[in-house]
Amino acid sequence: MAFRGGLGAGKTCLIRGLAAGLEIKEIITSPTYTIANEYEGRMVFYHIDAYRLDGPADFEMLDSHYYLYSNAVCAIEWSETIEAVLPPDRIQITLEVMDNGSRKISIEDPYLERALS
């Protein structure tokens, strides 16, 4: 899953909820400096923060295929930084802070869109 949204939009908070659904007991923190964290729950869960990456080439140097094409759940914050190397069938989640402080969440899922059309 690819997450987009400005600072404080709630990307990490939403990812914490995803991790809870996977029954991960560890505290989920944004891997801003480590780039990627791995957790064990009902499934392996990779939490990646692309904020400090300079682009797709940096992500590929981290062995991006290991994260993207394993039998794990992969959540990537600041995905727009590495969009060129993300799978085209990814779920894209965009969070936007509204004027009243609430959040607007948009979800794009190519598989679901094809199934509904």
Contact (CB, 8 A) for 56 and 62: no
pLDDT tens for each residue of the chain, 117 residues long = 999 999 999 999 999 999 999 999 999 998 888 999 999 999 999 999 999 999 999 999 988 989 999 999 999 999 999 999 999 989 999 999 999 999 999 999 988 777 776
**Location of structure tokens 């923060």:** 49
Q: How confident is the model at residue 116, as a pLDDT? A: 74
Q: Tokens standing for 115?
A: 């199934």
What is the pLDDT, as a whole number, of residue 78?
96
Number of domains comprising the chain: 1
Q: Domain range spanning residue 26? A: 2-116
Q: What is the CATH number of the domain that holds 86?
A: 3.40.50.300
pTM: 0.90
Q: What is the pLDDT of residue 33?
A: 85
- Interatomic CA distance for residues 77 and 17, integer angstroms: 14
